[in-house]
Amino acid sequence: MEIIRDPKAMQEIAIDLFKRSRSVGFVPTMGALHDGHVSLVKASLHDNDETIVSIFVNPTQFGPDEDLDDYPGSIDEDTKRLKSLHLDYLFLPKKEDIYPQNYLTYVEVQGLTNRLCGLSRPTHFKGVTTVCSILFHLTLPTVAYFGQKDYQQTLVIEKLLKDLHFPITIKVMPIVRDKDGLALSSRNQYLSGNERISALRINQSLEKAEHLIHEGERNVYILKKAITEHLSKSKDIHIDYISICHPKTLIDLTQLTIGKVLIALSVYLGGTRLIDNRIVKLAN
């Protein structure tokens, strides 16, 4: 596994791989790697000639009151883990090489970013699309891998790639969960023992909603009420949003009809913000 810190060196390698028609999978991460990240890396290793993983805690996707300074880091452990997977390239850029003094350029996907997580994190996706544009130019991948847990992010990146005609496709991998159902997240580390127990209600409430839909419930108000009631049984859960919406436009639905529906939610447990989601296919 080659470790690259210098953006220009990364780009030179990427250009060489591109010219040699090697298919390159790219997995952008913020480190604190868990089995969700590992599933992306494994998929890329399986699908491509070469795989590049980046670890970069991107400051522009954190709001002023968020956990940038506390974001979990474990670079030695991450490196060891990626090495054991026989990763090809690990890209570890420095903050000042990505955002030097007098950095001025931002990439923004409108519309899609004003909903769901965009409401409580108004500058988040602009930071994501900006850093991904930079990282895509530095790694020139054939395919970029993202996890479905960050569902809205996958839509935003898909739109970024399409609108700006990046010659890159996106591959979205399923949510990886702990045995008890909690979606893996680097932020799960923040949870106290009790909060970890309460957090199980997140996936349970999604399961409940899915079950109700399968039983024929089509009224969004009733579905949201069921989710809210289940979450609210734990007093330490504070709901940020519950959205039942179109899985491509993220526009809220009031009544389910045909096709697929996205159920997505975000809650706070103490200072920790967790998200989860599920796509449910409606029986005809």
Instruction: Give the residue numbers annotated as catalytic, written as ranges.
Output: 37
Establish if 257 lies at the interface with its own copies (CB under 8 A): no
Establish if 19 lies at the interface with its own copies (CB under 8 A): yes
Q: Which residue carries 């452990």 as its tokens?
A: 77
Q: How many residues bind its own copies (CB under 8 A)?
A: 30
Establish if 122 lies at the interface with its own copies (CB under 8 A): no
Establish if 109 lies at the interface with its own copies (CB under 8 A): yes
Q: Which residues contact 203 (CB under 8 A, 6 or more apart)?
A: 177, 181, 182, 183, 276
Establish if 268 lies at the interface with its own copies (CB under 8 A): no
**7-19 and 124-139 helices, crossing angle to 10°:** 60
Distance CA 219, CA 5 (A): 52
**H-helix or E-strand containing 54?**
strand 50-55
Question: CB 228 → its own copies: shortest distance, Å?
Answer: 31
Establish if 169 lies at the interface with its own copies (CB under 8 A): no
Question: CB 18 → its own copies: shortest distance, Å?
Answer: 7
Between 103 and 221, CB nearer to its own copies: 103
Distance CA 110, CA 262 (A): 20
Both structure tokens of 268: 């706070």
Among 106, 122, 174, 281, binds its own copies (CB under 8 A): 106
Angstrom CA distances, 279 to 144, 207, 208, 261, 267, stand at 21, 11, 13, 6, 18
Binders of its own copies among residues 133 to 152 (CB under 8 A) are: 133-134, 137-138, 140
Sequence-distant contacts of 252-255: CB under 8 A, at least 24 apart:
252/115, 252/220, 253/220, 254/220, 254/221, 255/218, 255/219, 255/220
Among 75, 80, 103, 189, binds its own copies (CB under 8 A): 103
Question: CB 3 → its own copies: shortest distance, Å?
Answer: 19
Establish if 21 lies at the interface with its own copies (CB under 8 A): yes
Question: CB 53 → its own copies: shortest distance, Å?
Answer: 18
Contacts with its own copies by CB under 8 A lie at 7, 11, 15, 18-19, 21, 102-112, 129, 133-134, 137-138, 140, 159-160, 163-167
